[in-house]
A and B are shown apart, each in its own frame.
Chain A
Amino acid sequence: MSPGTRGELILSNINKREFLKISGVLLFGLGSGALLEVLSPGEALNAEEYIADPEALKANSWGMVIDLKIVNEKIIARCIKQCHQIHNVPDIPDKKREIKWIWGELFKSVFPDKGFEYFNIRSDLGNKTIPVFCNHCKEPPCVRVCPTKATFKRPDGIVMMDMHRCIGCRFCMAACPYGSRSFNWMDPKPYINDKNMEYPAREKGVVEKCDFCVERIDKGLQPACVEVSEGSFHFGDLNNPESEVVKLLRTRYTIRRKPELGTVPQIYYLI
Chain B
Amino acid sequence: MFEKALIGGKRYWSLIGVLLGLIFIAFICYLWQLKVGLMLTGMSRDVSWGLYIAQFTYFVGVAAAAVMVVLPYYLHNYKAFERITILGEFMAVGAVIMCMLFIFVDLGKPMRVFNILLHPTFHSVIFWDMVVLSGYLLMNIITGWMVLQSEKNDAAPPTWVKTLIYIAIPWAPLIHTVTAFLYSGLPGRGYWLTAIMAPRFLSSAFSSGPAFLILLALMIKKYTKFDPGREQLQSLAKIVTYAIIVNLFFIACELFTVLYSNIPEHIQHIKYLFLGIDGYGKLILWMWASIIFMVLASILLIVPSFRKNERILSLACGLIIVGTWLDKGLGLISGGFIPNSFGHVVEYWPTAPELLITIGVWSTGLLIITILYKIAISVKEEIG
Q: Which 10 A-B pairs have the closest CB atoms?
A: A168-B108, A177-B188, A205-B108, A96-B44, A179-B341, A204-B37, A147-B126, A185-B39, A109-B342, A261-B187
- B220-253 contacts to A (CB < 8 Å): none
A interface residues with partner B (beta carbon < 8 Å): 17-18, 21-22, 24-25, 94, 96-99, 105, 109-110, 112-113, 141, 144-150, 165-171, 173-179, 182-187, 203-207, 258, 261-263
Instruction: Return the chain A residue nearest B112 by Cβ.
Output: A167
Q: Which residues of B contact A99 (CB under 8 A)?
A: 45
Q: Which residues of B contact A205 (CB under 8 A)?
A: 37-38, 107-109
Instruction: Return the chain B residue nearest A170 by Cβ.
Output: B48
Of A98, A105, A167, A261, which contacts B115 at CB under 8 A? A167
Q: What does the 1/0 interface line of B113-127 toward A look like (CB < 8 Å)? A: 101101111011111
**Whole-angstrom distance between the Cβ of B272 and the nearest chain A Cβ:** 15
Give Cα A113 to B263, complex, Å. Answer: 10
Contact status A98-B45, CB under 8 Å: yes
Contact status A109-B343, CB under 8 Å: yes
Q: What does the 1/0 interface line of B344-365 toward A look like (CB < 8 Å)? A: 1010000000000000000000
**Whole-angstrom distance between the Cβ of B133 and the nearest chain A Cβ:** 13
Contact status A168-B107, CB under 8 Å: yes
Contact status B121-A147, CB under 8 Å: yes
Instruction: Return the chain B residue nearest A97 by Cβ.
Output: B39
Q: Which residues of B contact A94 (CB under 8 A)?
A: 39
Give Cα A175 to B110, complex, Å. Answer: 21
| Residue B266 CB within 8 A of the other chain | no
Number of residues on chain B facing chain A (CB within 8 A)? 46
| Residue B21 CB within 8 A of the other chain | no
Q: Which residues of B contact A258 (CB under 8 A)?
A: 188
| Residue B189 CB within 8 A of the other chain | yes
Of A171, A177, A186, which contacts B124 at CB under 8 A? A171
- Chain A: interface secondary structure? loop
Given A97-B44, A167-B108, decide whether A150 and B126 contact each other with a Cβ distance below 8 A: no
A-B contact count (CB 8 A): 149
Give Cα A180 to B110, complex, Å. Answer: 23
Of A145, A177, A178, A187, which contacts B125 at CB under 8 A? A145
Of A109, A147, A169, A182, which contacts B106 at CB under 8 A? A169
Give Cα A110 to B113, complex, Å. Answer: 35
| Residue B149 CB within 8 A of the other chain | no
| Residue B332 CB within 8 A of the other chain | no
Contact status A185-B37, CB under 8 Å: yes
Of B43, B113, B336, B343, which contacts A185 at CB under 8 A? B43
Give Cα A253 to B182, complex, Å. Answer: 37
**Whole-angstrom distance between the Cβ of B302 and the nearest chain A Cβ:** 37
Q: Which residues of B contact A185 (CB under 8 A)?
A: 37-39, 43-45
| Residue B31 CB within 8 A of the other chain | no
Give Cα A110 to B123, complex, Å. Answer: 29
Give Cα A98 to B115, complex, Å. Answer: 26
Q: Which residues of A contact B344 (CB under 8 A)?
A: 109
Give Cα A154 to B112, complex, Å. Answer: 23
Q: Which residues of A contact B188 (CB under 8 A)?
A: 141, 175-178, 258, 261
Instruction: Return the chain B residue nearest A25 by Cβ.
Output: B120
Contact status B264-A112, CB under 8 Å: yes
| Residue B36 CB within 8 A of the other chain | yes
Most buried by A among B186, B264, B344: B186
Q: Which residues of B contact A18 (CB under 8 A)?
A: 118-119
Given A112-B343, A179-B341, decide whether A21 and B112 contact each other with a Cβ distance below 8 A: no
**Whole-angstrom distance between the Cβ of B92 and the nearest chain A Cβ:** 24
Contact status A183-B45, CB under 8 Å: yes
Q: Which residues of B contact A183 (CB under 8 A)?
A: 38, 45, 48, 108
Instruction: Return the chain B residue nearest A185 by Cβ.
Output: B39
Contact status A184-B189, CB under 8 Å: no
Contact status A110-B121, CB under 8 Å: no
Q: Which residues of A contact B185 (CB under 8 A)?
A: 145
Q: Which residues of B contact A165 (CB under 8 A)?
A: 112, 115, 119
Q: Which residues of A contact B48 (CB under 8 A)?
A: 170, 173-174, 183
Q: Which residues of A contact B113 (CB under 8 A)?
A: 167
**Whole-angstrom distance between the Cβ of A15 and the nearest chain B Cβ:** 12
| Residue B46 CB within 8 A of the other chain | yes
Give Cα A206 to B106, complex, Å. Answer: 12
Q: Which residues of B contact A113 (CB under 8 A)?
A: 264
Add 16 more A-B contacts to A170-B49, A171-B126, A204-B38 (CB < 8 A).
A18-B119, A96-B45, A96-B46, A97-B44, A112-B264, A144-B123, A150-B115, A168-B38, A169-B106, A169-B107, A170-B48, A171-B124, A176-B188, A177-B189, A178-B341, A204-B108
Give Cα A171 to B183, complex, Å. Answer: 9
Given A109-B342, A167-B115, decide whether A184 and B121 contact each other with a Cβ distance below 8 A: no
Given A145-B186, A171-B126, A179-B46, decide whether A206 and B109 contact each other with a Cβ distance below 8 A: yes
| Residue B314 CB within 8 A of the other chain | no
Q: Which residues of A contact B336 (CB under 8 A)?
A: 174
| Residue B194 CB within 8 A of the other chain | no
Contact status B120-A21, CB under 8 Å: yes
